[in-house]
Amino acid sequence: MARLNDNYLKLKAGYLFPEIGRRIKEFTQANPDAKVIRLGIGDVTRPLVPAVVDAFHKAIDDLTRPETFMGYGPEQGYDWLIETIIDKAYRPLGVELKTSEVFISDGSKCDCANILDIFDLSNKVAIGDPVYPVYNDTNVMVGRTGEADDKGYYEGIVYLPCTEENNFTPDLPKGKVDIIYLCFPNNPTGTVADKAELKKWVDYANANDAIIFFDAAYEAFITEPGIPHSIYEIEGAKKCAIEFRSFSKTAGFTGVRCALTVVPEAVMATTSKGEKVALNKLWNRRQSTKFNGVSYPVQKAAQAVYSEQGWRQTKDVIDYYMENARIIREGLQAAGITCYGGVNAPYIWLKTPEGMSSWDFFDKLLNECHVVGTPGSGFGPSGEGYFRLSAFGDRENVVAAVERIQRKWGK
Ligand SMILES: *Cc1c(COP(=O)(O)O)cnc(C)c1O
């Protein structure tokens, strides 16, 4: 009989969202008239903006005529999309990139999982806690870890707690690590790192020959000036950082699928014999072999996000979500609940009242306010005692949810 990959059996079976679903189902069966408001899931709700839909339609029409039909495109993405991204998303930040350094893909989730293909298993990996679970689980799947302990920490991974004490930006690891995952603005905490904090990590990486995986999926939600949108705004980052960006949250592409990964040509790692090799070359080889590109209409739709009209419309949707975030944040604060995030990210990370556990607060919020959120402990042990609310809902529901919470916890 064929042998399976044992590493998959080390994973805690996708526990968080199924368990949330189970508890909601149980509640709604017992309370069929309750109007449950869901502020739990990290998915967008607003439709694609008109300029994007227009470009999408036009590109489909191109496929209907022999003169404009497109077959396989470049595995790395079309140059016209890459050039638009460099020009509109990076140049305004003072970041210059070459077209060969940007790779278009169908998602950041798969890119930050697939990137592990080009790294040896011996690398020591550091991951935040709480964290986007993909970073952790994909390292387990490739076999970089032992078993999980009682808390859920896997043997062999260096966990970096992100707590109130360090403003949710992790401290440098005590020992030497080779790969560091950073996500700012952060999911789940909604917090950001300023330039000085990111500089600390870039300097660490360059001093220790480490690589930073920088997940910037939420950069478009930054509202405060001076907060870096890209790791490459930090001096020295082009020598040590790979950046992941996505159209998913930025432009409502969670169902359409388009993202990009930047691998600067100066980022190097060593072979087993100690020779330095550019990771750009390996990632290009990996993508050319295992990936056949994002569809032409999707890339046209993505390009339209950065047209003048497209960006104005996209920005309006982002502003809508961020107004939701403000309503949640200020509403909770008025009820005496301590919360973080929600200023430069569409997530509010609240401290559970009266020191409740994350799951106890989940149950209370569901049973007494008919509001669903995500228990912080589901993102890692350091998330215990915290709770995530998402600003991706519609306004009416957000306002109603906040009113219910205030009725329950407000003085
Ligand atoms: C939503 C999200 C992404 C985007 O994933 P896609 O596969 O591009 O949809 C990446 N990182 C984090 C932390 C996210 O929350």
Q: Which residues contact 190 (CB under 8 A, 6 or more apart)?
A: 325, 340, 341, 342, 343, 344, 345, 346, 347, 348, 349, 388
Q: If you take atom 14 of ligand 1, which residue's CA is the nearest one?
A: 217
314 CA from centroid of ligand 1 (Å): 18
* pLDDT at residue 14 tops 80: no
* pLDDT at residue 317 tops 70: yes
> Cα–Cα distance between 366 and 39 in angstroms, integer?
11
What architecture (CATH level 2) is domain 53-308? 3-Layer(aba) Sandwich (3.40)
* pLDDT at residue 15 tops 80: no
Q: Give the tens place of pLDDT for each residue, 170-215.
A: 999 999 999 999 999 999 999 999 999 999 999 999 999 999 999 9
Superfamily of domain 8-47+311-409: Aspartate Aminotransferase, domain 1 (3.90.1150.10)
- Mutation to probe ligand 1, out of 187, 257, 260 (largest number of atoms < 8 A from CB): 187
- Cβ of 132 below 6 Å from ligand 1: yes
pTM for this model (two decimals): 0.97
* Contact between 357 and 383 (Cβ < 8 Å): no
Same-fold call for 8-47+311-409 versus 53-308: no
pLDDT of 410 reads: 81
Reported as type and span, the H/E element at residue 82 is helix 79-85
pLDDT of 411 reads: 65
* pLDDT at residue 67 tops 70: yes
Which atom of ligand 1 lies at the shortest distance from residue 108's CA?
8
Domain boundaries, the chain: 8-47+311-409, 53-308
Q: How confident is the model at residue 78 (pLDDT cuts 50, 70, 90)?
A: very high
Task: Identify the sign of the CA torsion 329, 330, 331, 337.
Answer: positive
- Cβ of 217 below 6 Å from ligand 1: yes
- Cβ of 114 below 6 Å from ligand 1: no
- Cβ of 107 below 6 Å from ligand 1: yes
Alpha helices by DSSP H, listed for 3-67, are 16-30, 50-62
- Cβ of 234 below 6 Å from ligand 1: no
Q: What number is the average pLDDT over the span 249-275? A: 98
Per-position DSSP letters for 93-125, written without gaps between them: GT----GGGEEEES-HHHHHHHGGGGS-TT--E
Q: How confident is the model at residue 156 (pLDDT cuts 50, 70, 90)?
A: very high
* Contact between 179 and 211 (Cβ < 8 Å): yes
- Mutation to probe ligand 1, out of 16, 127, 218, 248 (largest number of atoms < 8 A from CB): 248
Look up residue 45 and give its DSSP letter. -
pLDDT of 1 reads: 96
- Bridge partners of 371? 37
Computed over every residue of the chain, the mean pLDDT equals 97
* pLDDT at residue 321 tops 80: yes
Q: What number is the average pLDDT over the span 148-160? A: 95
> Cα–Cα distance between 230 and 274 in angstroms, integer?
30
- Cβ of 215 below 6 Å from ligand 1: yes
* pLDDT at residue 12 tops 90: no
The pairing of beta strand 259-262 with beta strand 241-246: antiparallel
* pLDDT at residue 281 tops 80: yes
pLDDT of 116 reads: 98
